[in-house]
Amino acid sequence: MNANTLKWVFLFSLALLWGSSFILIKKGLVGLSPLQLTCLRVLITGIFLGLIGFKKIKQIWKWQWKWIAVSGFIGTMFPTLLFSYAETEIDSAIASILNSTVPLLALVTGILFFSNRFIKKQFIGVVIGLIGSVLLILAGASLNPNQNYWFAVLPVIASLMYAFNANIIKSYLEKISALGIATGSFLVLIPFALGTLAFTGFFNAEFLARDAVQTSLLYVTVLALFGTALAKIIFNRLIQLSNPVFSTSVTYLIPVVALFWGYLDGEEFNLFQLAAGGVILLGVYISNRKKKEKKAEALEEA
């Protein structure tokens, strides 16, 4: 499978994995606090990645560890915590929609802080996708007028962190394997996760014996292994195969999957949201369509 085909396979795989993560967070919050859910997710993922990818961290140079640590915190720990807190007040599908701002933020941060080239077609596609996301938000707000939309700021902040993380990986960690980046960043986070869980009384036998907690543990385990560990490896590889704007455009597809799960869980859904999802897909297509002249340049370089 060539690189161009593979990156689309990765893109849709990530949409399925991350689109399902929001409903798993919602279910996990039934028995756990946002802080506990975040740290448990990090701990389970870190242990799993440590078992399968420990040898890969040999690829990380000493000077790169600071970027690995930064990637761990702004690419996983803090955004996960912000999304978890957001879902205590707003629907899981709405949280996933707000995550759609990542490609636009990745484009802007790439130009302002990482000397990335401005590409008009990417910008147009990103804006179209963002318009689709706004339409989805408006539809959700009209269906759920009692929700506290101040909490909607949290996913936007998290999305800004994701945008910086994508550019950091592309700029400083591109030569490291996707598994190596994921393993290294989570190994850095494990001590913080363990300490926080102990501080919140998570390891207390009486707490763990609660039925709600045990059910939440099941959801968080699935979330950690698939929505975090597997998804992180795929995402890191996708950035290396493409660019920050293409890789973060997965956030335009995530709401489609999240809305489906939300609908099955009783969250409101209408045809207007379906149409807005179509606008989002159009934005993905336009922002990632290759220019003919770009192909010619690639052939000349080869």
- pLDDT (tens, 9 = 90+) of the chain, 302 residues, equals 777 888 889 999 999 999 999 999 999 999 999 999 999 999 999 999 999 999 999 999 999 999 999 999 999 999 999 999 999 988 887 788 788 778 777 777 888 888 777 778 778 877 887 788 778 777 767 777 777 767 878 988 998 999 899 889 888 998 898 889 999 999 999 999 999 999 999 999 999 999 999 999 999 999 999 998 898 889 888 888 887 778 877 877 888 898 889 888 887 767 777 787 778 777 767 766 665 444 443 433 43
Residue 184 lies in a domain: yes
Predicted pLDDT at 225: 94
Residue 182 lies in a domain: yes
Mention every residue, 6+ apart, whose C-beta is less than 8 A from residue 193.
38, 39, 40, 42, 43, 46, 77
Predicted pLDDT at 112: 80
Residue 298 lies in a domain: no
Predicted pLDDT at 161: 94
Residue 301 lies in a domain: no
pTM of the model: 0.80
Residue 151 lies in a domain: yes
125: domain range? 3-290
Q: Please report which residue ranges of the chain form alpha helices under DSSP H.
A: 3-28, 34-53, 65-72, 78-86, 92-98, 102-113, 120-143, 153-172, 178-199, 205-208, 211-222, 231-241, 244-248, 250-264, 271-288, 292-301
Residue 302 lies in a domain: no
Residue 215 lies in a domain: yes
The count of structural domains within the chain is 1
Give the relative orientation of helices 178-199 and 231-241 as an angle to the nearest 10 degrees. 140
Largest Cα–Cα distance in the chain?
67
Predicted pLDDT at 140: 67
Give the relative orientation of helices 120-143 and 102-113 as an angle to the nearest 10 degrees. 140
Predicted pLDDT at 293: 42
Distance CA 100, CA 213 (A): 31
Predicted pLDDT at 149: 67
Q: Residue 65 in contact with residue 207, Cβ under 8 Å?
A: no
Q: Residue 95 in contact with residue 80, Cβ under 8 Å?
A: no
Residue 141 lies in a domain: yes
Predicted pLDDT at 115: 75
Predicted pLDDT at 297: 39
